[in-house]
Amino acid sequence: MSRLWEKGLPLDARVLRYTAGEDHFLDDRLVAADVRGSIAHAEMLAAQGYLDTDDCQSIAEGLKQLLADHEAGKWQIRLEDEDVHTALETRLTELIGEAGGRVHLGRSRNDQVLTALRLYLRDATAEVGEHVAALCDAMQELADRQGDIDLPGTTHMQHAMPSTVALWSGGFTEAFTDAIEGLVAARRRIDKNPLGSGAGYGTPGLDLDREATTRKLEFAATQSPVTAVQLSRGKAEAGLLFELSLLMQDLGRLSTDLLLFYTQEYRYIELAPEVTTGSSIMPQKRNPDVLELVRGAAGTVQACLSECLLIMAKLPSGFQRDLQRIKAPVFRAIDLTIESVDIMAYLVSTVNFLPDNIRLGDELYATEEAYKLVASEGIPFREAYRRIAEQLQK
Amino acid sequence: MSRLWEKGLPLDARVLRYTAGEDHFLDDRLVAADVRGSIAHAEMLAAQGYLDTDDCQSIAEGLKQLLADHEAGKWQIRLEDEDVHTALETRLTELIGEAGGRVHLGRSRNDQVLTALRLYLRDATAEVGEHVAALCDAMQELADRQGDIDLPGTTHMQHAMPSTVALWSGGFTEAFTDAIEGLVAARRRIDKNPLGSGAGYGTPGLDLDREATTRKLEFAATQSPVTAVQLSRGKAEAGLLFELSLLMQDLGRLSTDLLLFYTQEYRYIELAPEVTTGSSIMPQKRNPDVLELVRGAAGTVQACLSECLLIMAKLPSGFQRDLQRIKAPVFRAIDLTIESVDIMAYLVSTVNFLPDNIRLGDELYATEEAYKLVASEGIPFREAYRRIAEQLQK
Amino acid sequence: MSRLWEKGLPLDARVLRYTAGEDHFLDDRLVAADVRGSIAHAEMLAAQGYLDTDDCQSIAEGLKQLLADHEAGKWQIRLEDEDVHTALETRLTELIGEAGGRVHLGRSRNDQVLTALRLYLRDATAEVGEHVAALCDAMQELADRQGDIDLPGTTHMQHAMPSTVALWSGGFTEAFTDAIEGLVAARRRIDKNPLGSGAGYGTPGLDLDREATTRKLEFAATQSPVTAVQLSRGKAEAGLLFELSLLMQDLGRLSTDLLLFYTQEYRYIELAPEVTTGSSIMPQKRNPDVLELVRGAAGTVQACLSECLLIMAKLPSGFQRDLQRIKAPVFRAIDLTIESVDIMAYLVSTVNFLPDNIRLGDELYATEEAYKLVASEGIPFREAYRRIAEQLQK
Amino acid sequence: MSRLWEKGLPLDARVLRYTAGEDHFLDDRLVAADVRGSIAHAEMLAAQGYLDTDDCQSIAEGLKQLLADHEAGKWQIRLEDEDVHTALETRLTELIGEAGGRVHLGRSRNDQVLTALRLYLRDATAEVGEHVAALCDAMQELADRQGDIDLPGTTHMQHAMPSTVALWSGGFTEAFTDAIEGLVAARRRIDKNPLGSGAGYGTPGLDLDREATTRKLEFAATQSPVTAVQLSRGKAEAGLLFELSLLMQDLGRLSTDLLLFYTQEYRYIELAPEVTTGSSIMPQKRNPDVLELVRGAAGTVQACLSECLLIMAKLPSGFQRDLQRIKAPVFRAIDLTIESVDIMAYLVSTVNFLPDNIRLGDELYATEEAYKLVASEGIPFREAYRRIAEQLQK
């Protein structure tokens, strides 16, 4: 965000800034997940005899305290902390003493990061789903309110056959419902426990119980062999970004429809004043900025998917630091999607169709007429079609 | 492929060339799927009383004949046919007479195209999965053959901890197994029956039985409402392209590893002569072109995903002709993926690790030593870590 | 195109198919450029004393003969030839005997490919420019024909201020003129002579005159040091693809405008029957498929740019075979752009604005009124704006 | 950054948050450019008689004061301000009274934004160029210091022909020099004056002198017709992003080379401790994180290019609010590029090649030997090549 090169920093500080990047900002949202993962790890260590019960308890309590303090705004991750993991470990050791250093046994930052990230992604995926469900409700409410109004059904943007607000709205509701199912399906790759894979080659010399943390953290499976973990990094993220991209594309297409309906030439709908904005030089205008910004946001989210795939591409197996750069587009896409879904649900609730402005010509019924001719006279459709076409051209 | 503008075509011919595009090439692979969809539609029409049983039977037999002839190379889709659907309908009418015109009742090209495409995608997805399974076998066979050989496990491309050929290979096998599961999951969006949605607004005036074609064509569900069908176009395709992109990324990363192992500086492996190529000016060289081409192919497949998403973006709802352009990147990606998977399976079967060239230094065991110190002395990991680090620096 | 895996090819044949790929198709368009590059190379060799004058002359005549034969359809590049370079060298040696083997002295396929490609790209870039110039003419002709017709100038797709067909059309003409200038600028990276860099490390032991081939082939500069050549591969291509992407985006946006103008709700324009198509089930419709396909083509061309950049990304320096995969998207984008520009120029020439359907309300003149108030009364614009806004709300 | 949906904001506040987005953050860097553009506009208004000289002077002085205050940290753009333009106008009116309202005469936020953005982009482009020049110096300094050391020149990552550190480094220096020239060329699209185009349809009723602001702001040309301005929005940005993408790709490829050289298997180089980082569980390791992060950053910058093109795609002509979303990826890419170039220049200055670890086999000289045979015996290259190949296989 700020421009580092202007700051005349000493060189070492620049290296820190470059390598830590935005992590101290970004990782704020990972505190709860990292605390959860660390407690599960400590409890497993204790069960395996690598940590005594008192230490385990003080680690768990200390971490919970730090989480509560963080949520209360009492501390933040600083650049010097580099990331959420170091920030927590440092503060834990300050809080409970030497035992704080024992939680990292049998764990690398590589599997720790991924554990926190997947726990977070699981929650975020569910959260996006809930917001989309509210959007479905808004579409349904619109259908309940004005579903009977006739609309021209179009192909190639040309009037084709009769449709209704209910049918139009129902198409999008199916799309959003499908998006929710897609989000659920995206959990498949999220739901693999990386904990215990260490830096990617396991923890030789220690007898860890990976299944125990899988159960504690409610993962569906333990990812194995250990070398699979770092190789898979970015895939769960990409899977979520793909689903968000499709979802945002539907929001973009809904925006396109509504922007069309809102033109003076169509004026099929009106929008509430609070979701439109004024112009700085044209007194008379009410602009549908929200819809345009949603349409643009779909481009941003799709670019986040590209960014994630680009970062992973062609890397040798084993952890590579490049993978750290995946967090930013993932968080950017999640936030922007939720904001866009919310604002769209609100906007949809203010849409008012204006039936007086919507006209369906007789020609829209041509196919139906041809079908009736087939049913009544038993002639082939092509012949019925030709006959109706002739009538219409008269 | 050919450059139209050089041909001095009359204007109308140019419009045909531009609108039909490469369809007459591309659609060759859709003949079987379109025949299958058309027969299901005809049988449903007959059951609903819109087609008499004899006509239905001659339609089904005619279509099967045309399919057999096509597979025998007796006819091809021509530019003048525009696409597979017109090609089949025209030839069917020539073959069986007037009844051929009766199959299009209650069907638009819009739902017909999508039906054929989804049937094809379902088969293609299964087919890709089979090829990937063969690649898994090749990886496993390598692990069986040379799995015990030690490899340095790396992070940041630096020796980190001890690994083996089995562990290295097992990571990729998990990735490819995950890809197969991903392909299965991608069928969710493919497996919705579009038939009966007509041009996107149903078939008013006709009483069609959409569930019947869903059963006949073994779709998992009937897509509804009818307006959902065209809005969903491209999503099943994008879902498959996303899975192919992840799969190809793994192939690309496997290539990166093998290219590294094959350098003179590593020389961890040798490759069979038949998967390497010579140089036009350097007599001594054997080049691993196949691996480079696979790595490059991953970029092409990822671009196919982008292309599909770009084409769908921001379109109004209802059918738009832009969507026709999705076929080319989908077919391109499927073909390139299968070819790349196959060639990689073959190459992997020729990989020979050269254990004499692989050296693991003592420092790779530092973490394991630290773990043992923790287990034996009960000191915190951080302290054990410091102690080992000091020993290593001596 | 064809699906290799279905053919039951022996393994070695598959490796050839995979490594040669589509080159034997794609390279057809490079024959002229490769002949030109080879003759320049041979003449330089002769001038430096590495080739006697008779051999040089028979090489030049042989190559010209092969080019003429190729243009006459007498031979084509076959899969077994692998690429244009081998195809020509093999046939040259058949034609003129042993001397044919002397032209490759001091040249690698790496610099040879790039020379042919840049010569081709230079011509293709000029050719695209000419087609765009014809599109500018079509836009200008429309402005001459119907420029005086009023149009609502819109922002946010809302009527904002008065405009005209001439202003609307003039915006696109500026865009296309800018595209032509962009194409000219894209030649900067094309216009560097790679010949003489060999496989990327020069031709030690030979005294070649690189400046001589630079002059003969009319390159602007000799690319040096020799290691720069392979590192730059893909950049000239990407530069051209970027310009084609911007150009196609403008064509896509022009399509969006025209599709809007062509809806029943606007009906600002009519299109000639020969650039519209009929429907398979709706007798009454004339669909603007061409415009939709152009809009979709913009997505394809943008994906070609992504593909090119993806293939280059992260490669070690020095030639890598991945780079061969850049040719396909470059040729795909050039062809599709020229076809789209041509069809759009033709379509634009048939556009007929229908002034009776275009209505500009009084409110479009609000800004102008406010400006006049400022000019006449000397009040701040914000006050004039408020006063006009009040009048409009009455 | 922050997650809006968690904040329980009232609906109107959400609309503001969604439409203003991150502008109040992003626009901080546009204050100087907007002040410069506004003063030029005010002076032009005064010269045309629309503003009296005293007002013009107090506007200019007020804006300069606000700029100085902003740089001194005395005020920042707040969310309520929405953007830099409103922030400045509001504060100007507070500072100098009613005259502050007069500067917006004959100007829309649409042309004002674009003017500020282009002035900023012009400066940023020059600034990136300076940083790249420093990187060229670092590469050159490395060549001066260790250029004579032999390196194997590779193709396909295989030893091919002899090279040197100077040749290797010189290839990248040419690439970075080319990037600087590319940045200069990218100014062509930046250097068009949008001011005076208003909302995209000019300023009917006012007699503005657009050439005057073109001169004052040192633009190369006045963009016209007025409708061209909004249609071009995003193109200058995309042009810069394209150049940054190519530049970052070269940085990524330099990283790939150095990461290879830094592996234990190569160990061609050592890196200074301050540009490497330690491991959390492996005491012995020094990791080249900086290089990996630079390689990853190339993916991010390429995604910014895609994002920009995606946002522009398919929009109707005339201003659309989507275009606001282009700012974020542009600023993201500029910042990340400058940081990456800087850190790489620093890292390159610490690279130390270790000649004892670099071995070039005799076979690297095979091509040179073949060339000598041709020169001495006059035999065709193909024959000399075969003879050397036979010797090497003995």
C307 confidence band (pLDDT: 50, 70, 90): very high
CA D179 to chain centre: 11
Q: C31, C112, C38: which is closest to C73 by C-alpha?
A: C31
Please tell me the predicted confidence (pLDDT) of residue A10.
Answer: 64
Contact C299 B109 (CB under 8 A): no
Contact C19 B290 (CB under 8 A): yes
- Please determine, for residue A4, whether its predicted confidence score (pLDDT) is greater than 50: no
Mean of all residue pLDDT scores within chain A? 93
- Please determine, for residue C130, whether its predicted confidence score (pLDDT) is greater than 50: yes
Query: How open is the CA angle A81-A82-A88, to the nearest 5 degrees?
Result: 50
Report, as an integer, the average pLDDT of B248-267. 98
Report, as an integer, the average pLDDT of A333-360. 97
The DSSP call for residue A29 is G
Surface-to-core class of residue B55, CB atoms within 10 Å of its CB (0-12 exposed, 13-18 middle, 19+ buried): buried
Contact B362, C29 (CB under 8 A): no
**Mind listing the pLDDT tens digit for each residue in A287-306?**
999 999 999 999 999 999 99
Estimate the crossing angle of helix C327-350 against helix C289-312, to 10 degrees: 160
Please tell me the predicted confidence (pLDDT) of residue D8.
Answer: 52
Contact A160 B226 (CB under 8 A): no
Q: Which helix (H) or strand (E) holds D213?
A: helix D210-216
Query: Rounded to 5, what percent of chain C is helix, strand, coil?
Result: 70, 5, 25
Higher pLDDT, B80 or B129: B129
Handedness of CA B377, B378, B384, B387 (dihedral sign): negative
Quick one: what percent of chain B has pLDDT higher than 70? Answer: 95
Q: Look up residue D381 and give its two tokens.
A: 């290259």
**Mind listing the pLDDT tens digit for each residue in A241-260?**
999 999 999 999 999 999 99
Q: Look up residue C110 and give its two tokens.
A: 């790496």
For residue B108, give the 3-state DSSP assignment. Answer: coil
CA C72 to chain centre: 26
Q: D278, D245, D274, D297: which is closest to D347 by C-alpha?
A: D274
For residue B237, give the 3-state DSSP assignment. Answer: helix
Contact C298, B271 (CB under 8 A): no
Q: How distant is the Cα of C7 from the closest Cα of chain B, in angstroms?
A: 12
Q: Where are the alpha helices (DSSP H) in chain B?
A: 11-20, 23-26, 31-47, 53-71, 84-96, 109-146, 165-190, 210-216, 227-232, 235-262, 289-312, 327-350, 366-377, 381-393
Contact A201, A186 (CB under 8 A): no
How many CB atoms within 10 Å of residue B383? 16
Q: Look up residue D209 and give its two tokens.
A: 């002198």
Please tell me the predicted confidence (pLDDT) of residue D6.
Answer: 39
Please tell me the predicted confidence (pLDDT) of residue A8.
Answer: 52
CB of A366 less than 8 A from some CB of C: yes
Q: Got the DSSP string for D217-248?
A: TT-SEE--STHHHHHHTTHHHHHHHHHHHHHH
B218 confidence band (pLDDT: 50, 70, 90): very high
Q: D254, D273, D121: which is closest to D191 by C-alpha?
A: D121
A375 confidence band (pLDDT: 50, 70, 90): confident
**Mind listing the pLDDT tens digit for each residue in D112-143?**
999 999 999 999 999 999 999 999 999 999 99
Contact B279 D155 (CB under 8 A): yes
Report, as an integer, the average pLDDT of D163-174. 98
**Mind listing the pLDDT tens digit for each residue in D1-18?**
233 333 455 667 888 889
Q: Determine if the peptide bond prior to C225 is cis (ω within 30°).
A: yes
Report, as an integer, the average pLDDT of C33-58. 97
Please tell me the predicted confidence (pLDDT) of residue B16.
Answer: 85
**CA separation for the pair C160, C169 (Å, rounded):** 17
For residue D346, give the 3-state DSSP assignment. Answer: helix
The residues pairing with A287 across neighbouring beta strands, listed in sequence order, are A277
For residue C347, give the 3-state DSSP assignment. Answer: helix
Q: Look up residue C247 and give its two tokens.
A: 């150009």
Burial per residue of D240-279, b for 16 or more beta-carbon CB atoms within 10 angstroms, e otherwise:
bbbbbbbbbbbbbbbbbbbbbbbbbbbebbbbeeebbbeb
The residues pairing with C159 across neighbouring beta strands, listed in sequence order, are C154
Contact B344, B297 (CB under 8 A): no
Q: A382, C266, D99, D212: which is closest to B97 by C-alpha?
A: A382
**Mind listing the pLDDT tens digit for each residue in D19-38?**
888 888 899 999 999 999 99
**Mind listing the pLDDT tens digit for each residue in B145-193?**
999 999 999 999 999 999 999 999 999 999 999 999 999 999 999 999 9
C392 confidence band (pLDDT: 50, 70, 90): confident
Catalytic residue among A156, A163, A197, A280: A156
**Mind listing the pLDDT tens digit for each residue in A48-94?**
999 999 999 999 999 999 999 999 999 999 988 888 999 999 999 99
- Please determine, for residue B279, whether its predicted confidence score (pLDDT) is greater than 80: no
Contact C392, C159 (CB under 8 A): no
- Please determine, for residue A389, whether its predicted confidence score (pLDDT) is greater than 50: yes
Query: How open is the CA angle C363-D322-B242, to the nearest 5 degrees?
Result: 145
**CA separation for the pair D81, D78 (Å, rounded):** 5
**CA separation for the pair C70, C68 (Å, rounded):** 5
For residue A224, give the 3-state DSSP assignment. Answer: coil
CB of C300 less than 8 A from some CB of D: no
Contact B176, B137 (CB under 8 A): no
Contact D285 B388 (CB under 8 A): no
Please tell me the predicted confidence (pLDDT) of residue D7.
Answer: 44
Q: Look up residue C341 and give its two tokens.
A: 């520009």
CB of A105 less than 8 A from some CB of D: no
**Stated length of chain A:** 394
Q: How distant is the Cα of C357 from the closest Cα of chain B, in angstroms?
A: 23
Residues of D in contact with B288 (CB under 8 A): 156-158
Higher pLDDT, D265 or B283: D265
Please tell me the predicted confidence (pLDDT) of residue A7.
Answer: 44
Q: Which chains touch A (3 or more CB pairs under 8 A)?
A: B, C, D
Closest-CA residue of C relative to A266 is C265
Q: Got the DSSP string for C258-327?
A: HHHHHSTTT--EE--GGGSB--SS-TT--B-HHHHHHHHHHHHHHHHHHHHHHHHTTPPSS--GGGGGGH
Contact C158 A263 (CB under 8 A): yes
Q: Determine if the peptide bond prior to A204 is cis (ω within 30°).
A: no
Contact D365, B260 (CB under 8 A): no
Contact B88, B39 (CB under 8 A): no
B5 confidence band (pLDDT: 50, 70, 90): very low
Please tell me the predicted confidence (pLDDT) of residue D286.
Answer: 86
Contact C205 D369 (CB under 8 A): yes
Q: C27, C38, C320: which is closest to C195 by C-alpha?
A: C38
Question: What CA–CA distances, in Å, run from B216 to B37, B38, B103?
Answer: 9, 11, 16
Q: C312, C42, C105: which is closest to C189 by C-alpha?
A: C312
Q: B308, B27, B320, A259: which is closest to C294 by C-alpha?
A: B320
Mean of all residue pLDDT scores within chain C? 93
D157, D310, D356: best to mutate for the B interface, most B CBs within 10 A: D157
Gyration radius of chain D's alpha carbons = 28
CB of A240 less than 8 A from some CB of B: no
CB of D5 less than 8 A from some CB of A: yes
D261, D285, D302, D371: best to mutate for the B interface, most B CBs within 10 A: D285
Backbone dihedral region of B132: left (phi > 0), alpha (psi from -120 to 50 degrees) or beta? alpha
- Please determine, for residue C2, whether its predicted confidence score (pLDDT) is greater than 70: no
**Mind listing the pLDDT tens digit for each residue in D318-372?**
999 999 999 999 999 999 999 999 999 999 999 999 999 999 998 899 888 888 8
**CA separation for the pair D253, C275 (Å, rounded):** 47
Contact C352, C262 (CB under 8 A): no
Report, as an integer, the average pLDDT of C212-236. 98
**CA separation for the pair A149, D98 (Å, rounded):** 51
Gyration radius of chain B's alpha carbons = 28
**Mind listing the pLDDT tens digit for each residue in C89-117?**
999 999 999 888 889 899 999 999 999 99
- Please determine, for residue D283, whether its predicted confidence score (pLDDT) is greater than 70: no
Which residue pairs from A271-274 have beta carbons closer than 8 angstroms and sit at least 24 positions apart in sequence?
Answer: A271/A347, A271/A350, A271/A351, A271/A352, A272/A347, A272/A350, A274/A350, A274/D11, A274/D12, A274/D15
Query: How open is the CA angle B261-D257-D295, to the nearest 5 degrees?
Result: 105
Q: Which chains touch B (3 or more CB pairs under 8 A)?
A: A, C, D
How many CB atoms within 10 Å of residue A270? 16
Q: Got the DSSP string for B3-68?
A: -GGGG---HHHHHHHHHHTTHHHHGGGGHHHHHHHHHHHHHHHHHTTSS-HHHHHHHHHHHHHHHH
Contact D339, A18 (CB under 8 A): yes
C284 confidence band (pLDDT: 50, 70, 90): low
Q: Look up residue C253 and give its two tokens.
A: 């946006």
What is the complex's ipTM, to 2 decimals?
0.95
